[in-house]
Amino acid sequence: DIQMTQSPSSLSASVGDRVTITCRASQGISNYLAWFQQKPGRAPKSLIYAASSLQSGVPSRFSGSGSGTDFTLTISSLQPEDFATYYCQQYSDYLWTFGQGTKVEIK
Amino acid sequence: EVQLVESGGGLVQPGRSLTLSCTASGFTFGDSAMSWVRQAPGEGLEWVGFIRSKTYSGTADYAASVKGRFTISRDDSKSIAYLQMNSLKAEDTAVYYCSKVIRTWGKYYFETWGQGTLVTVSS
């Protein structure tokens, strides 16, 4: 299985901060990488697919980049509603795997 | 508007079976692949499996942790995807989410998620 490793596991930030989360794949996955946001007690929400394409309705302050094994999710200006846990996920092969999650907390 | 509603969760004894349903609306269900993902209490997301549309064989793939015990099926006439879970174990306790999956260039990715249904495996 392809292992996905996110860093950091958690971070504290203030409203208006630029936030970057990293996701590394154990082998090359081209750009078959998605990002999700999950708030406590809620279902995940799809943010990005194909490493950098925004899902419909996702604010433009979210962006993704990367290819191969190293990827990033950036929130350009953190908003109050962005405090949540973020997951990456690879879909390069048919054994899809998620990262362990990054919790973004209020500083 | 795409909507997915899971049902069928509850308390079940170890070794028993349970079937979850995912009722879809707002899109052409028969044209879409569907997937199940679970989340154990306090843990991260774990992919369970997915089923292709009949246009692309209608077959399913599963995570190693559930292969041989879980079966995903679909009834396109009712717009429902099912997750049949057999030989349940305590470690299968989780919230189970279904998701509409988009196929592009031969690859699949998640789009819309349901609200989830809780399965508790305990005696």
What is the structure's pLDDT at A44?
98
What is the structure's pLDDT at A94?
80
Of A58, A49, A53, nearest in space to A82 by CA:
A58
What is the structure's pLDDT at B105?
84
Q: What is the pLDDT of residues B51-86, one digit of tens each?
A: 999 999 999 999 999 999 999 999 999 999 999 999
Q: From CA B99, how far away is CA B45, in angstroms rounded?
A: 13
Q: What is the pLDDT of residues A20-34, one digit of tens each?
A: 999 999 999 999 999
What sign results for the dihedral spanned by CA atoms B52, B53, B59, B65? positive
Q: From CA B61, how far away is CA A3, in angstroms rounded?
A: 18
- Token code pair at residue B28: 């052409």
Instruction: List, as one string, the DSSP characters of A8-53.
Output: -SEEEE-TT--EEEEEEESS--TT-EEEEEE-TTS--EEEEETTTE
pLDDT score of A93 more than 90 = no
Positions of chain B with pLDDT under 50: none
CA A39 to chain centre: 13
Residue located via tokens 């793939």: B61
CB pairs under 8 A between A and B: 56
Q: From CA B26, how far away is CA B24, in angstroms rounded?
A: 7
pLDDT score of A42 more than 90 = yes
Cβ of A46 and B113 within 8 Å? yes
- Token code pair at residue A100: 């362990």
At A21, which amino acid appears?
I
Of A24, A34, A17, A35, nearest in space to A2 by CA:
A24
Of A34, A27, A69, nearest in space to A52 by CA:
A34
Q: From CA B33, how far away is CA B21, in angstroms rounded?
A: 15
For chain B, list residues whose CB is within 8 angstroms of any CB belonging to chain A. 35, 37, 44-47, 50, 61, 63-64, 97, 102, 104, 107-116
Asked if the C-beta of A92 comes within 8 angstroms of chain B's C-beta atoms, the answer is yes
